[in-house]
Every structure is written in structure tokens, then in C-alpha cells.
Amino acid sequence: MSQNDQSELRYVRYDSARENEFVAAMRQLISKDLSEPYSIYVYRYFLYQWGDLCFLAMDDKDKMVGVVVSKLEPHRGGPLRGYIAMLAVRGEYRGRGIATKLVRMAIDAMIKRDADEIVLETEITNTAAMKLYERLGFLRSKRLHRYYLNGNSAYRLVLYLREGVGSIRTSFDPYGPPYPIEQHSTSTAEGNGS
Amino acid sequence: MDTEKAVSYLSGLLGRTLRIHASDGRMFVGLFKCTDADRNIILANSFEYRMPSASTVQEAAAKETESWDETQVKATRVKVNMSSRLIGLIVVPGHHITKIELE
Amino acid sequence: MLPNNEVRVPLPRAAAQSSAPRDITAQFTEAASKLQVGQLVKDESFTLFEAVGALEIMDSKMDSGYIAPGEDHAEALEIKYDSRQDLTAEEVVGLMDQLLCHEMAWHMGHPLSQTLFTSIYIDKLLWPTPKTIEEAQFDRAPSENRIVELVLRAYCLALLKACDYVHARVASEYYYEEEDFVTQLYNRNLLSGIDSSHFYRLLDQAIDWVENQDTIRSDFKDAIRSRLCLRREFLASVDQDLEILETHSTESFKLCLNHLASVADTVTLGKPVPEAFSLKLQRKLASTVPPRPIVHIKQEDALEQMRRLCQDAIDMQQMLDYRGPSNFKAAVWTLVSRKPQPSVYIRSLLQALIISDSSILGTVPVRKYLYDDLAELVLPASMLLRANLDDVELPSDPRFRIAQVMDSFVKRFAQPFVDTIRSACLNRCRVRRTVCHTVVDWDNLQMEAEEIDMQLQGISAEPALQVQGGDTTFSYPLSSWTYHQKLLQLRLILQMGFELSIYAPEELPGIYWYLSHLCSTHLGHLDRIRTFTVAARKRDLVSGGNDAAKSAAYHRSFLHLERLTTHIIAIDAFAIALHALYVLLARHEVLPCAAGPRAYSSDKLRYELRMKPFLPISLPELVPFEEFRREATLEGDSDTTVLDRASKAITEARKAWEATLANGAFIEDVACSSTTKSAPLAIEEDWRREIKDTMRACIGTSIAIETVRKAIMGAASLSSRQEKLSLDVVIPEIGSKARWHDWWVVPQISPGTMSLATG
């Protein structure tokens, strides 16, 4: 452990020129860490479109010890939503803040690209991941019953980055009278555009 | 074959039914959707075919007219009934592919 | 973590093609080799997003047909187990119990491929698909072992038939595939085409046969008999599960419980036969999902699962007598809120009973149910609800037009109203998520109801009422009723958030403030409704239309309003107390905090995120963040003021919960209160337990408040007011002993090490 602690780590952005080597290392790292299995095309899906939102932690021998994979796209025609799909750190390198650093890099990159919000899911048994994201300001927005193949439930964690993201209301009249007494005189006005 | 030609050849196969033989002897039949430089092939709506075990063959012979769990594969070289099942959308990794056939 | 099944969409089966295949390996390989790293050739309509759902062949985690290198192929596929082999009585008992475990694991939400379909006996019975009961055999040649042939086979077949009924029941109601239940049958059929009479006959034969065996030890005979009887009664229970609407009898479920007790007593007699189950069978099943291991649940868990299922079904009977909408809703809600939550079969059956033949409980037309609810809350003995009953054909008669308008109201509101109670039968995560969505619909419904109210006002010539400030207004009964529904839903969103553990500790002061804010809004609304009901009653008395039926209707409505008010006051007061308590903990920096000092986002953004379900709601409007912040932190109030607020509120809460408990779960009808006052039924017991748990949480809160008071006073006397209090604060998790009630998070507060040293 102490040996690892002293070794130098480098944090790099995914580089498509090194696809074969990187993807193989990522798959190894992630399949060991996460319960869900992913095919090669899962990686393709993320890396071909959002390779710049993937960050890697490499040790002094250029061996991959941590990875975060994410994407960023409009959600149902609404807010620009970042999604953290996978996060993994080699067992012997845990507890050194590598995961936090990687997630911060991904979030910062998404902020630079004008993300409105960032979401992800995590198994409810994965308390370490939950603590990590909550420390970064994420809130649990909902619980997802038996979400994963292994039957475990999940929490959806969300981080808003901009005011007004949560509002889908378009034509609300803020000067409308409050309910219940006075409201009825003007109640024919359309109050809710959602 | 240059890249352009290669792409047009492969594109011409999209949507067609391929039979992909894997290194473990199974065959996968499905609609060709996607491939890459490593021949990692995506098939949609695919079925897995497996050579039946010796005892299954005997059993099937014994049953004669009763046909079950088996689909007649009208391939020239496949004359026995192979057991098949629907497995849906799959990726066959290039390094596990031993033969590709076009229906 | 991305879920593997994100986009696994079933595709239509390709048309069979019969052209001779051509080997294109060389051309394909050469062409592919010309592609750049990262270059894809793909169908334009096929997105990489869809590709995410593809299962990778030859990957042991994804390929259910995968055989590991070194594993012998024949060995891997061959099932060596001989289903005709002799079995001892203890093995038969063991197998029956193993099968019961698999059946219950399936009930719990695991797929058949990981449970029952790993049984070689079950596989043999179901494949090839039998068309008749005779075709459903373990082997073409029957076993000479009668205990296998007669007893085990009858047991397996009856089990499968019960699964068929359960499958059909769940699949016909609201449920979530994979989340609640896996309906996937892998191209097998659970004997759905075979009439249940055959199964009873086989079971009876088996029971007879066992009775007459001299070679089987009597304790084994008893064990086998009780298992066969259990199968018989369970099959009968699920076979006729809707008949309870007519018979009001849960006799077969009760018999199941008796047999289940005998089964539980003899579990140790059985000897499991692990060889009779094989994961290899998964390689034969049509499956678009990754391979998954055999699910093993403990025998006692399986028995408990079935016991609970039967008990829930029995207790359900108690809600079948329709005694008004609020009683009905209270019964359903109490039942579905049981811990652990009733199984998906029970929740599906409950849905089927709730709305059967477009009637509530098969007897109350949906319109009547809706009208009863309106009468209870806003329109007791109202002409608006009677207009449809009178056969008025004269268009000039106001009742004719009222009937028309009310028809349009029923058309629009009946379904969403029934859905509110039906969706309570979903799994708890979905209950909250569903309400988050439907509350927006109810917001729109309220506007529609207002328009209908205004039409009715004109037609019925409702006299205006003078309210505070000299303004006049009308009762708006339908929109008032709608608003009440919406307020209930908004409160449920907040309260279920506690149950599902979605709030961070630092959110607790704000959420409890918001809860009390909703309650006071709701209390104001109930006051308004009461004002109009009182006025209507007065008008009625003046006009001399005072008959017994009217009196009873008004009585029930006032009683209902009173009960609602008491309950909401109780919630409100408790929320105020916890809010104040948490404010103090936050103020003195002893409340645990999930967000770190370098967190992204801000309190304002987190508030927006948390209150997202409330954002699109026009009434009540979301409290603006600044106001929320001031209120939630009790800005400007001294510690003493906040402490007093907490103490006062918790005292009031304890009284109000006492009163709520005394009111009981159900409104007793005046007419039959004397006849129905018997021993409290199971559902009512559950309801009382829940209230008592809440009262325990109140007491815990009182103690916590006093602990904080002492710490603050102590710190003040040491003139170290600014310092962090020396208190240890733990937020008890759901299920822990100190969490008396899911909806009431009472912090566990103990003096910290420092104050222990000083005091």
C-alpha cells in the first residue's frame, strides 16, 4: 500500500489513437469492478461520441488504475444532461481520492461544454460510490426498484448546474391570484403550459 | 480492395441474414447490423444453433415423427437437426469467428 | 453505473429464409481489415445506443450458451440426471421443498430461468409442450417408481398450474417487468391450456395412493400428504382468486396456512436432491438476457413468503365490504404499506379486486365511488350528485343541465381517481414516481374542475358567501375536492422520500419545514370546505329539507372533515417539531452532512432539484428559494425561541396523534356502528400499529429536544455560545431499531465526549 501511495499518478483524457490498448485495459478494470456486464460496443457508444468526457488514471508504468466514462446530450429535447456511465478504480489504489479526481475531471469537462445537469445511477449497496457523489453535491432524486441484473435496487443521483433546469413550466403566470379564495375570477387563464 | 470498396462491400451486407460460426462450434443466424475493423459483428434478432449432443440425436431418432425444440436448418452441410433458441441482439467478437456465411 | 438492460428492445422475428448460404468469410475479413481503428460500418437506422444492449457471445457474463474452455461440451450440455430413477420418500419431500423455494423465489421477482426452470423434472414436463395432461410426463416411458410417477408428478404439475394462474393475474394488472416480476416464459407454456380439474384429480389420486402405502413410514406419509394438500389448496386459491368478490370467503387460503404449518414442521424430514437441478437448462431456453445463477433462497424464507402471501390474501377479505370511499382507501393503503410489502401477486389481485367489471370491488359502480367521495368531502346530500338519479327529460329543468355537466365531470375524473388508489399497489419506488407524474395531471384537472364548478354555479344558482374582507365567493366543490387530492399527493411525495431514504441529512430541516407548510395549506383548505358545508347545511335547515338521509350525509361529511383535520394537525405539529430540532442541530454544526465543502452546485440548485415534482404545479405554488431558506433555517429566531417552538409542537403532536388513534382507522357508520363493533381486524391492527409507531417517534423526538436543550443551556452557561455543541448525532437508517417510523426521521442524539467530561 505505502508503495502505491508514493507512486506518481497521471490523469489523462482518453485518446482515440490508443483505442485498442485503452479499451482493453478499461474493460478489464470495469468488468472486475462493476456487477453489470458490458460488450465492446458499450464502450464504442460512449468513446466514439464522448471520448473527451472519458478520463483515465495511469500509474508510473503507464498502467491504467482508474477510469470514468460519461456522455453528454440533450435529455428528451430538454436540458443538456451529462451522464456518468462507469467509474472504476483498481482495488489496491482505492482510498487515495482517484475516483473523486476522475469524476471531478469529467464534471469539469461537462461544465465547460455547458451541461445543465449531471445524472447517474448507483447500486444502493455501493455506499462508497454514493458517499463520493454526495460529497460532490449530488442528491438522490429517486430510488429504482430492482434496477440491475443482480436484482439490486439503485438510486438516481442528480446534480443541477444551472438555475431553471428543473423547471419544465413554460407559461405560468406568476401574477395569478393564489388559491382558493380570490383565484376564481381569473381562473380561465391557462395556468400551466407543461 | 481499398477502404472505400471495403465499406461499400460491407454496407451492402447490412440488413441481410448472416450465419456466423463461432470457435466453440455454435452458429448464430441473424440480421447484420454493424461491424468494425476487428470483425466484431452485431446481429439483431438472432438465433443460436448448436450441434445436438449424441444422446439427443438418439432420442430424436427414437422419437421420429415427433419434432420438438428443433428447427430444420436447410443448409447444405448441416443435415442434422440443430437445437436452436432465440437470443436476440448479440455481438460476436471477431477473434471468435471461424466462418461467415450469407443467406 | 449504467444498467446492462438499458435498451434491450425485442425485435420482430425475421422471416424464415431458405436460400443456400454462401461462404463470405474471406471477403468479409479482408474488407473489415481495411477499416480504420474505430471506423464502423453500420445500418443507418441502427444506433450505437441500441448496440449497448447487445450481448457479447463467448463472454461468460453475457452469453448464456457459453461453455468455458476445458469444459467438456457433451458434459456441459448433457443432463445426466435420470428423471425415472427411484426416489426415496425423504428425497421426494426434499424435492418438493426445493421446488417450493424456487416457486417462491419466482414470486419474489426472480426469473423462471434462475428458479423453477432449473429443475430437470419441470423441464421434462414442459418440453416438448404437452397438449394434454397425459402428455406432461417426466419421460416417454413412465417410471416404475410410483412415488415419482404419481406423487412427485402431481405435485409438480399442480405447482406449474398455480404458477400459470399467478402469471396470468400479474400480467393483466399494472406491474413493472423485471422490477416486480419477470413474466418471461422462455418459449415454454405453464400448462395454461389444460383444465384445472385434471390437476385436482391427479392430486387426489396421489393423496389416496400415499394413504394406502404400508412401506412408507407414517411421518413421511404425513409430510407428503401435507405437501400435496398444500398444492391442492394453493391451486384452488389462485384458481378462483376473484371469486372472493362474491363468496367473501378465503377458506382455501386459510387451509393453505394450516397445511403450510404442517409442511414447516416436517421440513427436516426431507433430503434435498441437488442433482435434479441444473443451470445447464438455461442453455436451452430462448433468452435475450445474460446468464444468471440459480437463485437459492432459504427454506424458511420460502415458507414465510408463502405464509405472508396467504395471510395478505386472507386479510384482504376485510376490505371487501364497501363502507364508503375513505374507509376503502384507508384499508387498501394500509394493506399495501405492510412491511415487507405484499408480494406482486397479492398487489395484482388487489388491483383486480379494486376495479373489476368497471366497478369498485365488483359491486360499486365507479361513478358511485366518485360521488361517494365527493359527498364525503365537499357535497353531502347535494343536488349536484342527485341530478343524474332523477330522470329529468325537460331541458329547461336545471337538473337536466346539471346531469349533463356532471356526466362530463365523471367522464374526465373517474379514471384518474380510481388510478390514484390502484397505483398504490405498485412497488414503493414506483408509487412515489407515479405520484410525481400524476400530480401534474391533477394540477390540470383542478383547472378543468374550476370551469365545471363555474358552470354549475350558474345552473344551480348557488348563493355567494361572504368571506373575510367582505369579498364574496362560491364553494367550488369539484375543484376543492381536486385540490384536496393534489395536496394529499404532494404530501405523499415528501413522505415517501423518507421511506425510500432519498434525503441527505442536511436536507431534513428543509423537508420537514416543507411538510408542515403543505399541512398548513391543507388545513386552510379544509377550513374553507367546512365553511361552505356549514353554510349549505344552514340553507338546508332553513328551507326545511331536513330528512334523516340528509342528516346522516352531513354528519358523515363533518366527521370526515374532522378526522382529516385531526390527522393533518398531527402531521403538521410533528413536522414543526422535527424541523425546529433539525434547525438547532444544523445551526450548531452537529447535523451530519453528505455534501462536502468543495461540492458542486449550491443550496439553491439543490432545492430546485429536490422540489422538481413541485415545480410544474400551479397550486400550491412552490415556495421561492429565498423564502424557503429563511423559513427552513428559522432565520432570526434565537435558540431559545426555536427550542420552545420544538417543545410546544411536539406536545401538540403527541395530543393530536392520540386523537387520531382514538378516531380509529375507519369511519363507523351511524346506522350499523353497533353491529360492526367487533374485535379489530388485521388491517385495522396494522393501522393502529403504524400510528403507535408514530407516537413512539414523537416520544423519541421529545427526548431528543430535551437533550439538545440541555446541551445548549450548558454551552450558554459556559459562555461558549459560538462553539459547536458537544453532541453526537446519528440519523437512524430505515429498518434500524431507532427508526420508529419510516416517515419520521428522529435523530439519535447523545452527549458527545466533551460534555461527558464536563458534566
pLDDT tens digits along C289-346 = 888 899 999 999 999 999 999 999 999 988 888 999 999 999 999 999 999 999 999 9
Cβ-Cβ contacts under 8 Å for A145 (sequence gap 6 or more): A153, C176, C179, C180, C427, C428, C429, C430
Share of chain A above pLDDT 70, in %: 82
Instruction: Inform me whether the pLDDT recorded for A53 exceeds 90.
Output: yes
Residues on chain C touching A169 (C-beta within 8 angstroms)? 615-616
Is residue A24 less than 8 Å (CB to CB) from chain B? Answer: no
75-114 in chain C: CB under 8 A from chain B: 77-78
Structure confidence at residue C756 (pLDDT): 43
**Closest alpha carbon within chain C to A155:** C502
Instruction: Inform me whether the pLDDT recorded for A176 exceeds 70.
Output: no
Pairing state between β C355-356 and C359-360: antiparallel
Size of interface A-C (CB pairs under 8 A): 212
C-beta atoms of B69 and C284 within 8 A: yes
C-beta atoms of C48 and A45 within 8 A: yes
Structure confidence at residue A120 (pLDDT): 97
Under 8 Å between Cβ of C656 and C320: no
C-beta atoms of C1 and A146 within 8 A: no
C-beta atoms of B35 and C58 within 8 A: no
What ranges do the domains of chain C cover? 6-68, 89-287, 384-668
Chains that touch B (3 or more CB pairs under 8 A): A, C
Distance CA C423, CA C428 (A): 10
Structure confidence at residue A11 (pLDDT): 97
Listed residue (C325, C323, C307) closest to C366, CA to CA:
C325
Retrieve residue C341's grid coordinates.
410489502
Cell 413412465, residue located: C142
For chain A, give the mean pLDDT: 84
Res. A170 pLDDT band, cuts 50 70 90: very low
Retrieve residue B85's grid coordinates.
433458441
Structure confidence at residue C411 (pLDDT): 96
Residues on chain C touching B89 (C-beta within 8 angstroms)? 8-9, 11, 50-51, 53-55, 288
Distance CA C488, CA C496 (A): 12
Under 8 Å between Cβ of C231 and C158: yes
Retrieve residue C286's grid coordinates.
430462448
Tell me the DSSP string of C299-313.
HHHHHHHHHHHHHHH
b (16+ CB within 10 A) / e for C738-758: ebbbbbbbbbbbebbeebeee
Residues on chain A touching B91 (C-beta within 8 angstroms)? 39-41
Under 8 Å between Cβ of C670 and C555: yes
pLDDT tens digits along C682-730 = 999 999 999 999 999 999 999 999 999 999 988 877 655 556 788 999 9
Helix C89-107 vs helix C299-316: crossing angle, to nearest 10: 60
Listed residue (C603, C592, C640) closest to C747, CA to CA:
C592
What is the distance, to the nearest Å, from the Cα of residue B95 to the centroid of all Cα atoms in its chain? 15
What's the length of chain B?
103
What's the length of chain A?
194
What ranges do the domains of chain B cover? 3-102
B44 → closest Cβ in C11, C30, C35: C11
pLDDT tens digits along C355-375 = 988 899 999 999 999 999 999
C-beta atoms of A40 and B34 within 8 A: no
Distance CA C530, CA A181 (A): 14
Under 8 Å between Cβ of C384 and C449: no
Under 8 Å between Cβ of C461 and C474: no
Retrieve residue C528's grid coordinates.
374553507
Structure confidence at residue C19 (pLDDT): 67
Structure confidence at residue A8 (pLDDT): 86
Tell me the DSSP string of C117-159.
GGBHHHHHHHSSPPSSTTT--SSSSPPS-HIIIIIIHHHHHHH
Q: E strand or H helix at C640, and its extent?
A: helix C639-663
Under 8 Å between Cβ of C652 and C566: no
Structure confidence at residue C707 (pLDDT): 96
In chain A, the largest separation of any two C-alpha atoms, in whole Å, equals 75
C-beta atoms of B91 and A41 within 8 A: yes
Instruction: Inform me whether the pLDDT recorded for A106 exceeds 80.
Output: yes
Instruction: Inform me whether the pLDDT recorded for A14 exceeds 90.
Output: yes
C-beta atoms of B103 and C17 within 8 A: yes
What is the distance, to the nearest Å, from the Cα of residue C327 to the centroid of all Cα atoms in its chain? 18
A166 → closest Cβ in C447, C601, C612: C612
Mutate to test the interface with B, among A31, A39, A42 (most CBs of B within 10 A): A39
Pairing state between β C22-23 and A55-58: unpaired
Distance CA B30, CA B17 (A): 5
Is residue C499 less than 8 Å (CB to CB) from chain A? Answer: no
Instruction: Inform me whether the pLDDT recorded for A178 exceeds 90.
Output: no
C-beta atoms of B6 and C34 within 8 A: yes
517-536 in chain C: CB under 8 A from chain A: 525, 528
Under 8 Å between Cβ of B19 and B42: no
Q: How many degrees, rounded to 5, is the angle at CA C309 between CA C303 and CA C310?
A: 90
B90 → closest Cβ in C39, C57, C129: C57
Is residue C542 less than 8 Å (CB to CB) from chain B? Answer: no
Structure confidence at residue B67 (pLDDT): 43
- pTM (2 d.p.): 0.90
**Closest alpha carbon within chain B to C140:** B63
Mutate to test the interface with C, among B40, B65, B76, B87 (most CBs of C within 10 A): B87
Listed residue (C467, A184, C22, A90) closest to B100, CA to CA:
C22
Residues on chain A touching C502 (C-beta within 8 angstroms)? 139-143, 155
Retrieve residue B45's grid coordinates.
434478432
Residues on chain B touching A45 (C-beta within 8 angstroms)? none
Under 8 Å between Cβ of A192 and C638: no
Q: Which residues of chain C have pLDDT under 70?
A: 5-19, 389-390, 545-546, 669-680, 718-723, 753-759
Distance CA C421, CA C245 (A): 18
52-81 in chain B: CB under 8 A from chain A: none
Task: With H, G, I as helix, E, B as strand and everything else as coil, classify residue B86.
Answer: strand
Domain B3-102 belongs to what architecture?
Roll (2.30)
Distance CA C149, CA C154 (A): 8
C-beta atoms of A41 and B93 within 8 A: no
